């Protein structure tokens, strides 16, 4: 696999299991411009034409499921979200195993300003067997904004 990936052949794993403790709880459902923060992320991915979207829930799973306007997103629940992101990432990839995708994006559910240009740049990044991962950079650092 090399070069530009077609969005419909890309799966997205949305990490939405955290408690939002630094925020004071309930971050994913916090209102932003009339919609929950997580809704902004899901709407952005849907607007990009991303194929399969898996949302990994944990803390507040029932409230999130009842509040979000779901489309075709697959939902899985991490029963031990306090153990960190790695468990949620594993669950997300496990849910994509049989999906018709060639690649996967790992997206944080609490970043409502997900920019389509960033996703397009990731899809255009050269991917090969030797370099199977593309990582976005922010402010010349290898991580997203805090």
Q: Is residue 2 part of a domain?
A: no
**How many structural domains compose the chain?**
1
pLDDT for 29 beyond 70: yes
Q: Is residue 93 part of a domain?
A: yes
Q: Can you give the length of the chain in residues?
A: 146
Average pLDDT, the chain: 87
Q: Are 45 and 123 within 8 A, CB to CB?
A: no
Distance CA 116, CA 113 (A): 9
Q: Is residue 96 part of a domain?
A: yes
pLDDT of residue 145: 46
CB burial of 9-47 (b: ≥16 within 10 Å; e: otherwise) equals bbbbbbbbbbbbeeeeeebbbeeeeebbbbbbbbebbee
CATH number for 27: 3.90.550.10
Q: Is residue 130 part of a domain?
A: no
Tens-place pLDDT, residues 45-97? 999 888 999 999 999 999 999 999 999 999 999 999 989 899 999 999 999 99
Domain that holds residue 57: 13-121
């Amino acid at each position: 696999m090399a070069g530009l990936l077609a969005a419909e052949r890309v799966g997205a794993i949305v990490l939405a299991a955290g408690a939002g403790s630094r925020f004071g709880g309930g971050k994913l459902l916090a209102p932003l411009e009339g919609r929950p923060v997580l809704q902004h992320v899901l709407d952005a991915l849907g607007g990009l034409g991303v194929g399969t979207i898996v949302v990994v829930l944990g803390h507040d799973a029932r409230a999130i499921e009842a509040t979000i306007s779901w489309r075709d997103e697959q939902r899985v629940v991490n029963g031990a979200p306090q153990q960190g992101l790695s468990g949620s990432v594993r669950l997300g990839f496990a849910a994509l195993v049989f999906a018709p995708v060639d690649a996967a994006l790992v997206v944080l559910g609490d970043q409502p300003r997900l920019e389509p240009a960033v996703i397009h740049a990731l899809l255009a990044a050269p991917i090969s067997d030797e370099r199977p991962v593309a990582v976005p950079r922010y402010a010349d650092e290898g991580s997203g904004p805090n």
